[in-house]
Structure 1
Amino acid sequence: MKPQLRICIAGAGAIGCTLAARLSASGQTVTMLARGVTHDALQRHGVRLTDLHSTLQVPIVSSDDPATLGEQELIFLCCKAPGLAALLPDLHPMIGPQTLVVPVVNGVPWWYFHGEGGRFQGSTVKAVDADGQLADAVDLGQVIGCVVFITAHSPAPGMAHSSTPHLMIVGELNNTMSPRLERLRQVIEAAGIEARSTERIRDQLWTKIIANLTSNPLSVITGATLEQLYGDPKLRELVSLTLHEALLTAAAYGARLNLDPHTFLEHGTAMGAVRTSMLQDYEKGRPLELAAIGDAVIELAERMNLPMPITRHIITLARFRSEHTPLRSC
């Protein structure tokens, strides 16, 4: 029997709506923290998801005030990395002593050096948490690491479309297996999402970081899809150079990656005409996750005296384009 929990999805973008629809359809009690037109859409229509499994439309309790939702047992943070500083302090009314907080966020997480026991134990990743605000906002003993391989987009508020399989990998920050980790895995699996638990969450994290780093910033510069980024010979060369810089950095931090560069590039090409989430954000004039996906990796490389010249240039160009020639959706 799957565990029954009080679950809140904080953030109602494509990933948040995907999780909310799947978890709610599996019988869990799910609420959503959302604001503005998204909150209004959820109240009127519930959350709507079309994916490889089915088309779902489920009623959902939505609020723009965390205090009205009450204490939760499980909170999925599904906002973009730039929004964490504003979101986390607001969640205090929902967090009790046993609440688990699961950040579903791209890039290097603020918790990276907490619980890993290395020589940087307890350090702050300045690019994502310059003043330690995120580390102070939530007891890190209540945080579970999460790496999400779900490709989805939101065509309208409260809606999500996905045409790829769903996979979520969860792990304790201190690299242990625990009953609460297994309970979390069971909840996700029961929702029709492939779920794995691991003793080495940072290995899986680096795999996702590298996927984001090699595709997202370059997509903003070029407007290219995943198929073009990884398949076009001119772009593929840039992707390969960034890939090797990132692999060297990951290895310096002891990551054990089952990642063959050729297979990685072929898999990216096979994803087809998918536009990255960063490109979609750029086109809508939203803040980009360049700090978490790019700057933080460069910061980690600098700690190990590793140069990342190609990655630096790509991040610089992506940031320049986002600041000086933003596109707006019609």
Structure 2
Amino acid sequence: MNASLLRIGIAGAGAIGCTLAARLAAGGHQVNVLARGETLAAIRRDGIRLFDLDGQHHVQVEASDNAANLGEQDLIFLCTKAQGLASLLPQLQPMIGAETVVIPVVNGVPWWYFHGEGGRYDGRRVNAVDPQSVLSQALDLRHVIGCVVFITANCPAIAVAESHTPHLMIFGEPDNRLSPRLEQVRGLVESVGIEARATDRIRDNLWTKIIANITSNPLSVITGATLEQLYSLPQLREVVSSCLHETLLTAAAHGARVSIDPQTFLELGAGMGAVRTSMLQDYDKGRPLELAAIGDAVLELADCMAIPMPITRHLIALARFRGEQARH
């Protein structure tokens, strides 16, 4: 990849997709956005706007609902919900060339988790997120670089993103190599004002984000509570702590090293303030909940190691019930 001449695809123009598109385009890169419907119309008409800690960014990008119109890309960021990947990835084929790097910017346990992992489950499919092998068949995993994104953003309007926290993205090869392309991606993202790190242990960082998601998202749907309430109110904090310890045990069983201790984790969560989780926002809008990747896949990994997660299992079941009720 020649970082100065990259064609960068963004698949999914939600809060994170718009944040990345705005930053990359403002940095002078050619950005091509795959979008549809009202989102596509808004991008073509008004471009993409981002309001973050560095001010306002207003950019014009190429946008289409047809991947063939955008053509082969050097780098593609997948910025959809995990449950949207099965329909998205097969559509992306015209954008993926022999050397295209694909970076899933997706919450929860990724479908590539055991690819290149090297342990007893090396090469195993995570059934909860790829039950029909659609993802595994649609994309050769040699294209994939793993990513953990710590960007809190929302969309106050179509093709408009706002974020009031620092941006951080961590990248890693699934087989833990510190490859030249990994450093190129890190450098590219850092060059447009997003803190970027490369690691040879991407699953450690994945588990940190997984723990943040699983301890907050399902319970937020059940209670309607904000992050501050979840991690600080005694009656909720106790439930969060139980889920936290169950997930930490599962992470450790799979060889991950989570650097944040439980008490610090709770304090950081409480410090996020009156933020409504993305899953709670989806619930409010009657959208499908991202429970397969954030919840079911973690239970699947726990089952691999015969680790019981009773509290977490109940939280996921209750959140799923609430989500299904809201959609009927």
TM-score, length-scaled by structure 1: 0.98
Distance in 2, matches of 1:273 and 1:53, equals: 22
CA drift of 1:326 comes to 4.4
CA drift of 1:27 comes to 0.9
CA drift of 1:155 comes to 1.2
Letter in 1 for 2:165: T
Q: What secondary structure is seen at the aligned counterpart in 1 of 2:171?
A: strand
> Does residue 278 of structure 2 align to residue 277 of structure 1?
yes
Distance in 1, matches of 2:326 and 2:88, equals: 28
Letter in 2 for 1:325: A
Residue in 1 that maps onto 2:180: 179
CA drift of 1:4 comes to 3.2
Distance in 1, matches of 2:216 and 2:192, equals: 29
Q: What secondary structure is seen at the aligned counterpart in 2 of 1:9?
A: strand
Residue in 2 that maps onto 1:166: 167
Letter in 1 for 2:293: A
Q: What secondary structure is seen at the aligned counterpart in 2 of 1:126?
A: coil
Distance in 1, matches of 2:13 and 2:116, equals: 29
> Does residue 233 of structure 2 align to residue 232 of structure 1?
yes
Residue in 2 that maps onto 1:135: 136
Q: What secondary structure is seen at the aligned counterpart in 2 of 1:155?
A: strand
Task: Provide, for residues 199-237 of structure 1, a one-character-per-residue CA deviation record: whole Å limited to 9, x for no partner.
Answer: 000000000000000001111111111111111111111
Q: What secondary structure is seen at the aligned counterpart in 2 of 1:62?
A: strand
Give identity over the alignment, percent: 68
Alignment of 1:95-174 (within 5 A): 95-174=96-175
CA drift of 1:57 comes to 1.0
**Contact 2:231–2:266 (Cα < 8 Å) also in 1:** yes
Alignment of 1:20-59 (within 5 A): 20-59=21-60
Letter in 2 for 1:72: Q
Q: What secondary structure is seen at the aligned counterpart in 1 of 2:216?
A: helix
Structure 2: which 5+ runs fail to align? none
**Contact 1:3–1:183 (Cα < 8 Å) also in 2:** no
**Contact 2:73–2:95 (Cα < 8 Å) also in 1:** yes
Q: What secondary structure is seen at the aligned counterpart in 1 of 2:283?
A: helix
Task: Provide, for residues 1-31 of structure 1, a one-character-per-residue CA deviation record: whole Å limited to 9, x for no partner.
Answer: 9543100100000000000001110111101
CA drift of 1:325 comes to 3.0
Structure 1: which 5+ runs fail to align? none
CA drift of 1:54 comes to 1.1
Residue in 1 that maps onto 2:257: 256
Distance in 2, matches of 1:326 and 1:213, equals: 22
**Contact 1:218–1:318 (Cα < 8 Å) also in 2:** yes
Distance in 1, matches of 2:110 and 2:212, equals: 15
Letter in 2 for 1:150: I
CA drift of 1:191 comes to 1.1
**Contact 2:287–2:327 (Cα < 8 Å) also in 1:** no
After TM superposition, the structure 1 stretch with the greater mean CA deviation from structure 2, 66-75 or 133-142, is 133-142
Residue in 1 that maps onto 2:245: 244
Alignment root-mean-square deviation, CA: 1.1
How many residue pairs get aligned? The number is 327
Distance in 2, matches of 1:250 and 1:123, equals: 17
Residue in 1 that maps onto 2:72: 71
CA drift of 1:303 comes to 0.7
Q: What secondary structure is seen at the aligned counterpart in 1 of 2:106?
A: coil
After TM superposition, the structure 1 stretch with the greater mean CA deviation from structure 2, 3-12 or 70-79, is 3-12
Residue in 2 that maps onto 1:220: 221
**Contact 2:30–2:61 (Cα < 8 Å) also in 1:** no
